[in-house]
Amino acid sequence: MTAATAAPARGSAAPARTPRPGRARRWTGLLVLLALTVVACAASIAVGTRSLGLGEVWRALLDSGLTSEEAVIVRQLRVPRTVLGLLVGIALGVAGALMQGHTRNPLGDPGLLGVTAGASLAVVLAIALLDLTTPSGYVWFAFLGALAGTVLVYAIGSAGRGGATPVTLALAGAALSALLFGLVRAVLVTDQQTLDSFRFWVVGSLAGRGGDIAWQVAPFIAAGLVLALVNSPALNLLGLGEDVARGLGQRIWLARLVGLLAITLLAGAATAACGPIAFVGLVVPHAVRAFTGPDHRWLVPCSALAGAILLLTADVIGRVVVRPAELQVGIVLALVGAPFFIALVRRRRTATL
């Protein structure tokens, strides 16, 4: 071994190495998130606009024959709402992690691929043309609109000579979203009744959604989660660069397609069920990378749990801050998520994507 190979040459800096979180730290973070998820679910069932004692909540959960008003509130309102919040939070957290990984954009969120704009236009048309004014009535239209928006973005982004790339997909998503939201406004300004019904959906809320909504979107979210877990190792290779990933045998087009399908299923189902909910898919992956690092095999499941915690906690806060009224979860997340994200960026260097 020569002196030149034994140590860096004088005057040259040694290559910086980014410290990788240890396996124990990742396991600890995952277990903490699991515990916090259980706490968030319990709080969502126990806390609401009407105060109930823990004994009443416990009896309502255990005694299926109980028909008191408290039992109806717990079993028919709070439990389905908690299940839906859990599913939507998981879906948005994972979709955000996948979106940032595929676009290499730290500001990427599921709405960047036209999901929100496509769902919004479909809901507006369903209300205006078919007179559907309930979440259970237009949930399928919202999902189909989200799917159509993503397909259009992918088709436009892949039309060039270089095919679909993170940059072309982001540009196509921004352009198509502007067009679709313009069409949404055009319908709303001509129909007051449609505007009134659309406002209930577009604000983003878990209120007014029954257990039937959760059952309708659950299969799509489950399929999206499976695809996301399958896509995680490929995202790790893509993070090394497309040339390196291709040299290691990764089929780039297949990895992009699987990731895009997972994002569409997850974000489309969540948006269809509860309306556009911002900041979950944006903030959660950044916070989770603090202890998982860029490894998507850990980032994806931890983002799922963190997304559920954030959404359920925001929903509980919205129920209690303006009692006996209620603040929608989309508004709470906008008020809490923006300062949190700014503080996160200012306090620490954003983890490498």
For each of the domains in the chain, give its residue range(s) and CATH number, in order of start: 69-347 (1.10.3470.10)
Indicate whether 18 pLDDT > 60.
Answer: no
Which long-range CB contacts under 8 A does 238-241 form with residues at least 24 apart? 238/101, 238/102, 239/101, 239/294, 239/296, 239/353
What is the token pair recorded at 168? 């072309």
Indicate whether 14 pLDDT > 60.
Answer: no
Indicate whether 353 pLDDT > 60.
Answer: no
What is the token pair recorded at 232? 């995680």
pLDDT in tens, 245-295: 888 888 888 888 899 899 989 998 998 889 888 889 988 998 899 889 889
CB 85 within 8 A of CB 206: yes
Indicate whether 7 pLDDT > 50.
Answer: no
Name the pLDDT band for 44 (thresholds 50, 70, 90): very high
Percent of the chain past pLDDT 90, that is, above it, reads: 31
Q: What is the mean pLDDT of residues 134-154?
A: 85
**Top-ranked range on mean pLDDT: pick from 31-35, 114-118, 155-159, 247-251:** 31-35
Indicate whether 15 pLDDT > 50.
Answer: no
State the Cα–Cα distance between residues 112 and 154, nearest whole angstrom: 11
More confident call, 193 vs 233: 233
pLDDT in tens, 110-122: 777 788 889 899 9
Q: What's the pLDDT score for residue 347? A: 62
Name the pLDDT band for 192 (thresholds 50, 70, 90): confident
Name the pLDDT band for 219 (thresholds 50, 70, 90): very high
Name the pLDDT band for 296 (thresholds 50, 70, 90): very high
Q: What's the pLDDT score for residue 83? A: 95
Q: What's the pLDDT score for residue 306? A: 96
More confident call, 313 vs 153: 313
Indicate whether 81 pLDDT > 90.
Answer: yes
Q: How large is the C-alpha radius of gyration of the chain?
A: 22
Q: What's the pLDDT score for residue 72? A: 80
Which long-range CB contacts under 8 A does 150-155 form with residues at least 24 apart? 150/113, 150/114, 150/115, 150/118, 150/260, 150/263, 150/264, 150/268, 152/114, 152/118, 152/176, 153/113, 153/114, 154/113, 154/260
| Four-CA torsion 287, 290, 292, 295, nearest 10 degrees | 90
